[in-house]
């Protein structure tokens, strides 16, 4: 079934079985391809109510626009796949743009941005059995740890069980850990070397096995600290892109330096590529791929 973005609602309304059919037919590939590196575009932000990019509060709210940007990004050489929630991945399945791509399901989206329960980040997205059933290739979860918020314990326990469930299906799980705290009512992630080191140590030990666990990590506030920080674990690492603000070139340089470290296998980058401060999506993606 070859359809365009304007046809998605009609197909969903009249042929919901088309999602499962497309998933069953999708051509798959190994997680790590011939390049030995991994470049994933992330688009799981909307399900957490995080729709803003820079000073545009609802930049990601237009689904057709987001899908167009994702299609451009996935068409660029060197892009291995996409990370998103079920609604977005199923749109992309129906559009036929996930052939021979790594497809990563986003698992916990319950910690809504700005909510009083943000640190109680329950698993409201993909389950391990969903990722296996749809023949997707990996999962991703976020574990933010606030020592002053009891909700973090719920997140830690749920994360451990998700690690176990994904391992039972022999599916890779990308764990994104942070030490966090509230500042003026907003959750802030601590990117100091000590905090990132502690988050790695905690995340690496979750679950009954770490055989299928990867880490998705930010570059520390001082990029020169990354080499020592990454000595905390032998688990494979992908860098978290995050928002880069106005200093896009500075962000690229930080990523380039961290990508040289031995445990770093690639990058997962979202808004800074899909909604670049300068230039087109294609240019931003090509530049990021060039860093690898």
Task: For residue 28, count CB atoms less than 10 angstroms from its CB and return exposed for 0-12, middle for 13-18, buried for 19 or more.
Answer: middle
Please name the residue that has the structure tokens 């933010």: 144
Measured distance CA(175)–CA(166) in Å, rounded: 12
Q: For residue 35, what pLDDT is reported? A: 84
3-state secondary structure at position 48: helix
Handedness of CA 257, 258, 260, 265 (dihedral sign): negative
Instruction: Give, to the nearest 10 degrees, the angle between helix 17-25 and helix 86-95.
Output: 70
Q: Which tens digit of pLDDT belongs to each residue from 43-88?
A: 999 999 999 998 889 999 999 999 999 999 999 999 999 999 999 9
Distances (CA, A) of 118 to 66, 129, 191, 257, 283: 25, 25, 19, 32, 34
Positions in the chain short of pLDDT 70: 1-2, 242-246
Domain count, the chain: 1
Domain that holds residue 148: 5-291
Q: Which tens digit of pLDDT belongs to each residue from 113-133?
A: 999 999 999 999 999 999 999
- Tell me the CATH number at 138: 3.20.20.70
Measured distance CA(289)–CA(267) in Å, rounded: 9
Q: For residue 243, what pLDDT is reported? A: 67
Measured distance CA(5)–CA(78) in Å, rounded: 24
* DSSP code per residue over 75-112: HSTT--EEEE-HHHHHHHHHHT--TT-EEEEE----S-
Q: For residue 68, what pLDDT is reported? A: 98
């Amino acid at each position: 079934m070859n359809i365009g973005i304007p046809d998605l609602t009609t197909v969903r309304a009249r042929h919901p079985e088309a999602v499962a059919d497309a998933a069953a037919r999708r051509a798959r590939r190994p997680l790590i391809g011939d390049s030995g590196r991994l470049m994933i575009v992330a688009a799981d932000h909307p399900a957490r109510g995080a729709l803003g990019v820079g000073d545009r509060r609802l930049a990601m709210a237009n689904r057709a626009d987001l899908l167009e940007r994702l299609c451009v990004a996935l068409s660029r050489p060197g892009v291995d796949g996409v990370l998103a929630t079920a609604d977005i991945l199923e749109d992309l399945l129906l559009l036929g743009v996930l052939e021979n791509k790594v497809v990563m399901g986003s698992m916990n989206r319950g910690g809504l941005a700005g909510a009083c329960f943000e640190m109680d980040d329950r698993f409201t997205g993909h389950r391990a059995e969903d990722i296996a059933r749809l023949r997707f290739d990996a999962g991703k979860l976020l574990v933010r740890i606030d020592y002053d918020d009891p909700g973090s314990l719920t997140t830690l326990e749920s994360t451990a069980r998700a690690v176990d469930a994904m391992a039972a299906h022999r599916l890779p799980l990308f764990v994104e850990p942070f030490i966090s705290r509230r500042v003026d009512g907003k959750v802030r992630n601590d990117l100091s070397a000590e905090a990132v080191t502690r988050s790695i140590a905690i995340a690496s030990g979750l679950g009954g096995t770490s055989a299928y666990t990867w880490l998705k990590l930010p570059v520390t506030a001082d990029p020169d600290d990354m080499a020592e920080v990454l000595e905390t674990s032998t688990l494979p690492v992908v860098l978290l892109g995050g928002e880069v603000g106005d200093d896009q070139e500075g962000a690229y340089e930080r990523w380039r330096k961290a990508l040289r470290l031995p445990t770093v296998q690639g990058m997962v980058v979202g808004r800074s590529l899909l909604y670049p401060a300068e230039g087109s999506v294609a240019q931003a993606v090509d530049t990021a791929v060039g860093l690898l």
